[in-house]
Amino acid sequence: MNLKSLKEQIIEKTIFLCGVTSVLFVVLIFIFLAKEGFALFKTVHPADFLTGRRWYPISDPPQFGILPLILGSLYVTFGATLISVPIGVASAVYISEIASSRVREVLKSGIELLAAIPSVVLGFIGITTLVPFMRNALNLPTGLTAFSGSLMLAFMAMPTIVSIAEDAITAVPKKYKEAALALGATHWQAIWRVVLRAASSGIVAAIMLGIGRVIGETMAVMMVTGNASRMPTSLFLPVRTLTATVAAEMGETVQGSAHYHALFAIGIVLFVITFIINLIADWAVHRKSK
């Protein structure tokens, strides 16, 4: 009997320890990024790092300005958001408000499948079909552009936006809509004026998480955006994002070199950006529940 309760105590302690590991991992991620990344700032001033316009890590002397990379990420993200938010929210409305329940299940499963396609497969399809198509359709010197990246990423953000926005819309109490309908509004007016407004916090969270997904996406964007590390000037030119820089260059750096540390410093930037985005999304969700 005592042995049994001892065993249970051990199990419960283990459960408690496992429970808090998530916090430990977040802390560890930050510590290890900082440990390798902050070493860069012994030689490069953080301000120069963030606002420098030249990323020439292997020239002599090397230059570690990530402004073009930040802008590259922003261009791609901006384009992807512009495409995915209206379409994503619209299809969330369709799925939750208009589709019959059987159709809804099928559509939701389809969206889950889209979310499941590995990004490297999307990138592969991107370079084999989208990129040549863009070059021909828009008569560009190359189809490897920020716009191609935006299109790719828009579809990768779609499942996140649709599923979270759909949850938010479904969570709006039925009586709101019924009240509007009872006052003679059409179904569409009820959706547009009442339901969407009531679900706005959840939709904001959906958009933020979609953006988070886009900024952090690596493989597909690396494969279709051309990776030119110059200051971007147009959506229709090659750009290089923060994530692609890390993924593409880490394999070729010498461990402990300034370049190596610089890539970790980019990791810190990415970590902080997504951390903030997640906080905002979380805040939006909790504002809703009050």
Partner 1 sequence: MKHNPYRTEKIAFSLLFLATIVVLLPVILIIGIIVQKGWPAISWEFLTAMPEKGMREGGIFPAIVGTLFLVLGTLTFALPLGVMSAIFLVEYAKDNVLTRLVKLAIINLAGVPSVVYGLFGLGIFVMFLKFGASILAGSLTLAIMVLPIIITTTREALESVPQSFREVSLSLGVSKWQTIRYSVLPHALPGILTGIILAVSRAAGETAPILFTVAAFYLPKLPDSIFDQVMALPYHLYVISTQVPNVDPKVRYGTALVLLLIVLSMNFVAIVLRSKFRKKKKW
**Contacting partner 1 within 237-276 (CB under 8 A):** 243, 246-247, 250-251, 255, 263-264, 267, 270-271, 274-275
* Burial call 46-74: b when 16+ CB within 10 Å, e when fewer: eeebeebebbebeeeebbbbbbbbbbbbb
Q: Mark residues 157-176: x for contact with partner 1 by CB under 8 A, - for none.
A: -x---x--------------
Q: Is 195 in the site for partner 1 (CB under 8 A)?
A: no
User: Does residue 183 belong to the site contacting partner 1 (CB under 8 A)?
Assistant: no
Helix/strand/coil for 31: helix
Count of residues near partner 1 by CB under 8 A: 86
DSSP code of 239? B
Instruction: Pick the closest to residue 176 from 191, 164, 163 (CA basis).
Output: 191
105 counts as binding partner 1 under rule CB under 8 A: yes
Question: Could you say whether residue 132 binds partner 1 (CB under 8 A)?
Answer: no
Residue among 238, 219, 220 at smallest CA distance from 228: 238
Task: Give the C-alpha separation, 71 to 131, whole Å.
Answer: 21
Nearer to partner 1 by C-beta: 53 or 86?
A: 86
Which range touches partner 1 (CB under 8 A), out of 8-16, 45-53, 64-72, 132-140?
Answer: 8-16
SS (H, E, C) 79-112: HHHHHHHHHHHHHHHHHHHHCCHHHHHHHHHHHH
Is there binding between residue 87 and partner 1 (CB under 8 A)?
Answer: yes
* Residue 247 to residues 58, 89, 207, 220, 238, Cα–Cα distance (Å): 16, 31, 26, 11, 17
Q: Report in angstroms how near the CB of residue 185 gets to partner 1 at its nearest.
A: 8
Judged by CB under 8 A, the stretch of 57-65, 111-119, 132-140, 193-201 that binds partner 1 is: 111-119
By CB under 8 A, what part of segment 39-68 binds partner 1? none
19: contact with partner 1 by CB under 8 A: yes
Tell me how far apart the alpha carbons of residues 210 and 204 are, in angstroms, rounded to a whole number. Answer: 10
Cα separation, 170 vs 104, whole angstroms: 12
Residue closer to partner 1 (CB basis): 67 or 87? 87
- Does position 149 bind partner 1 by CB under 8 A? no
Comparison of 105 and 178: residue with beta carbon closer to partner 1? 105
Q: Give the amino acid at 73.
A: S
CB of 14 to partner 1, least distance (A): 6
